Amino acid sequence: MTIKSVGVVGAGQMGNGIAHVFALAGYDVTLNDISQDALDQAMAVITKNLDRQVKGEKISQAERDEALNRIGTTMTLTDLGQSDLIIEAATEKEAVKHKIFQELLPHLKPDTILTSNTSSISITRLASGTDRPERFMGFHFMNPVPVMQLVELIRGIATDEATYNTMLEVVDKLGKTSATAEDFPAFIVNRILIPMINEAVYTLYEGVGSVKSIDQSMKLGANWPMGPLELADFIGLDTCLAIMNVLHDGLADTKYRPCPLLVKYVEAGWLGRKTGRGFYDYSKDEPVPTR
């Protein structure tokens, strides 16, 4: 089928980035959130990021204006029902995602494709709670969405070929690159990346190195653009922990045991950049290591 209208559930960091790239690619977008403040903030972020692209001569002023005009916002989830494609980008909690899809189901068009931007949860399990597992896929964008080139496409056990091919075309129209992953815990990127971050936290926990030395070592020794602890703060320590728990529960292998220090930071509410404190303290001009 041809996708023209897109509904995005969740106006957070991922949701606003997804709305941004779809609107810029010519799709009509409806952005939904349970909070009007979140929707207002999302539109402010999208506007700022589009302005940055104009300044960097990546897009024209006219393209920026057209993209903003293509985005509508709503606090009513069922307003998304008539979209050709729906992308769920809510919090990484399975119960929340199931609830969203259940509320949407009675209002969907027969051929609407449902997708989730989940970074780790089983697509087959999410799809099984809907009336269209054959038209359900994982559609995992990387953060920040307007900058990162990759989109992971994950087929559930029941996803049909037509849905998969439609989503391949959508990724192409967005000007991004797709990687197809099988439906196993955390897919490809996070299956590799998050255990590496967890190992960096263990390295800190066991006193092998300080926050500064660990991040410096990986930046200068492995040519990473960002150190693993700095990256963990950027992703959100709660998200890193949630993905490690999915890996540990889903694969039952002790190598995926979350580091106790990561658990402790999340329990303290030190979730990284979004709370102003994680492995770094962001209250000053320059981030300062907390250990």
* CA 54, 117, 119, 188 torsion-angle sign: negative
CATH T-level assignment (fold) for domain 191-289: N-(1-d-carboxylethyl)-l-norvaline Dehydrogenase; domain 2 (1.10.1040)
pTM of the predicted protein model? 0.90
DSSP strand E in 99-142: where? 113-116, 136-141
Catalytic residue among 32, 116, 119, 198: 119
Answer for the pair 51, 64: CB distance below 8 angstroms, yes or no. Answer: yes
Q: Note the Cα 22 to chain centre separation in Å.
A: 15
Listed residue (117, 16, 22) closest to 70, CA to CA: 22
Q: How far is CA 192 from CA 8, 82, 199, 253, in A?
A: 27, 37, 11, 14
Q: How far apart (Å, rounded) are the C-alpha atoms in residues 246 and 120? A: 7
What pLDDT does residue 184 have? 94
Residue 248 bears catalytic tag: no
What pLDDT does residue 165 have? 97
Residue 94's φ and ψ, nearest 5 degrees, are -60, -40
Catalytic residue among 16, 83, 120, 152: 152
What pLDDT does residue 1 have? 79
Listed residue (77, 56, 51, 62) closest to 26, CA to CA: 62
Strands 136-141 and 150-155: antiparallel
Catalytic residue among 140, 178, 198, 230: 140
Q: Which residues of the chain fall short of a pLDDT of 50?
A: none
What pLDDT does residue 215 have? 98
What pLDDT does residue 92 have? 85
Residue 116 bears catalytic tag: no
Residue 143 bears catalytic tag: no
Cross-strand pairs, 138: 116, 154
What pLDDT does residue 45 have? 97
Neighbours of 109 (CB within 10 A): 12
For the chain, the structural domain boundaries read: 5-181, 191-289
Q: Which CATH superfamily is domain 5-181 in?
A: NAD(P)-binding Rossmann-like Domain (3.40.50.720)
